[in-house]
Amino acid sequence: MKRLPVSGRTLALIGVLLLLFASFAFVALRSGPLAPVPVTVMTVESQSLKPALFGIGTVEARYTYKIGPTVAGRVQRVEVQVGDRVQAGQLLGEMDPVDLDDRIAAQEAALKRAEAGVPAAEAQAREMVARQSYAEAQASRYETLLQAGSSSEEAVGAKRQELQVTNAGLAASRANLEVAHQELARVRADRGVLLRQRANLRLVAPRDGLVAARNADPGTTVVAGQPVVEVIDPTSLWVNVRFDQLRAGGLRAGLPAQVVLRTQAGGAVAGQVLRVEPVADAVTEETLAKVVFATLPEPLPPVGELAEVTVTLPPLPAAPVVPNASVQRIGGQLGVWLFEGDSVRFAPVKLGAIDLEGRAQILDGLKSGARVVVYSQRSLGAHTRVKLVERLPGVSP
């Protein structure tokens, strides 16, 4: 009569216990270390890779002219502002001449004096010539007279002596004239020096260009060699790019490049590799190259702006390709895990080029059609049991 409650209760309790132990077992087998590892798999296909090289560079001007004085001095005036366009020969600024102008004036005066000295010396020379010819004539007349006995030895001697005097005087005046000439030349040369020095104090643009920097304002003292104004040729902007040497194989002049300026992330500008620098950076282990723009971007990127440059290498012939996430190093060898139902097998491979999207070329060790493991929930070993899934748990699409 009252059989049911007891049996019912027993059944219920047994049911609860069974459920408990079942979930226990489930938990132990499915989520612990005993469970199979979920993996995703892809089939190896033969593809033609378009490898590319990636480097970071800065925009630089090919030609930068740093205009400054050749002697220490003070800047007197700067005629241009940063951003001005200048022409070849345009005055950019001027150093303070200090006493140079006065010295030039003094030199002008000296020049004038020297110039005046020449005709004076010439006049004197002419006078001496006249005197000398007169003395010569006199001397020869008196000689004649002496021979005629109408003059005394003394008179002739006096005239002879006068002749010598005037000869000497002539020579002296000729020398004076030479001195005057040389003096003139010297003063002229000195003046030329000062004038050239004065010209040196003028800062002049050597070519057409754009003022990139104005380093000193009027009144600043600068030393020799310190640039006051920097002028760049804006049409000569290029990108100085550094490529990590490990990933710079195949870089050479002429390859097409895409330049993404930092301020315009997303917009790429076409360019070309102009040259690969013969001297690389041994400290940072980078190869340097220069990339020029096909057309200069408008507005001009400032010098020093960072740019990301991608150089496209010529496409490679088709070969089996795997994603680089599949490649692992096990026991010192590079290879991939081949998917075999519920277990995996390691196959060593030889890698070729890898493109920027992570696709790696297999030169040896795999054929198209093989199924390789791409992603796994845990690290794999030779005896790991695996289970094929579409997507790993915990990874959103």
Q: For binding to other proteins (CB under 8 A), which residues are involved?
A: 1-3, 6, 9-10, 13, 16, 20-21, 23-24, 27-28, 31-34, 54-56, 221-223, 225-227, 243-244, 246-247, 283-284, 308, 323-325, 327-329, 331-332, 334, 351, 354-358, 360, 374-380, 392, 394-396
CB of 380 to other proteins, least distance (A): 7
Q: Which is nearer to other proteins, 252 or 378 (CB)?
A: 378
Q: In what order do the strands lie in the sheet with 202-204?
A: 202-204, 91-95, 73-78, 221-222
Q: Which is nearer to other proteins, 187 or 309 (CB)?
A: 309
Rg, C-alpha atoms of the chain: 49
Q: Which is nearer to other proteins, 132 or 377 (CB)?
A: 377
CB-CB contact of 268 with 255 (8 Å) = no
Q: Could you give the 3-state DSSP secondary structure of residue 279?
A: coil
Q: Which is nearer to other proteins, 89 or 267 (CB)?
A: 267
Q: In what order do the strands lie in the sheet with 319-323?
A: 45-47, 319-323, 359-364, 350-354
How far is the C-alpha of 194 from the C-alpha of 106, rounded, in Å? 11
CB of 318 to other proteins, least distance (A): 20
CB of 10 to other proteins, least distance (A): 6
Q: In this structure, are strands 37-43 and 386-388 parallel, antiparallel, or unpaired?
A: parallel
CB-CB contact of 320 with 336 (8 Å) = no
Q: Which is nearer to other proteins, 30 or 141 (CB)?
A: 30
Q: Which is nearer to other proteins, 252 or 262 (CB)?
A: 262
CB of 301 to other proteins, least distance (A): 18
**268: nearest Cα among 297, 292, 246:** 297
CB of 350 to other proteins, least distance (A): 12
Q: Which residue has the tokens 């950076």?
A: 281
CB of 276 to other proteins, least distance (A): 16
